[in-house]
């Protein structure tokens, strides 16, 4: 399990864009992205 990375989520028409605060490696289309604020689950989706 990854410790997580700080990011900003921006809505663009019918998609959401995730902008990471720092460079991220080893991510690929099809992987899951899950978003938390503290211990609260905000949502998730798949990387495209």
Domains held by the chain: number = 1
Q: Is residue 2 part of a domain?
A: no
Q: What beta strand segments (E) does the chain contain?
A: 7-12, 15-20, 32-37, 40-46
17 within some domain:
yes
Tokens 């604020």 belong to which residue? 37
Residue 3 has pLDDT above 80, yes or no: no
* Residue 4 pLDDT exceeds 70: yes
Cα 2–chain centre separation: 12
34 in a structural domain: yes
For 18-45, how does the pLDDT look when each residue is reduced to its tens digit (9 = 90+)? 999 999 888 899 999 999 988 999 999 9
Enclosing domain of residue 15: 7-46
Residue 1 belongs to a domain: no
Report if residue 31 sits inside a domain. yes
pLDDT band of 10, cuts 50, 70, 90 = very high
């Amino acid at each position: 399990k990854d410790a997580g990375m700080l990011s900003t989520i921006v809505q663009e028409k019918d998609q959401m864009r995730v902008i990471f605060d720092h460079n991220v490696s080893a991510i690929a289309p099809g992987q899951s992205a899950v978003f938390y604020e503290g211990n609260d689950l905000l949502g998730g989706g798949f990387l495209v």
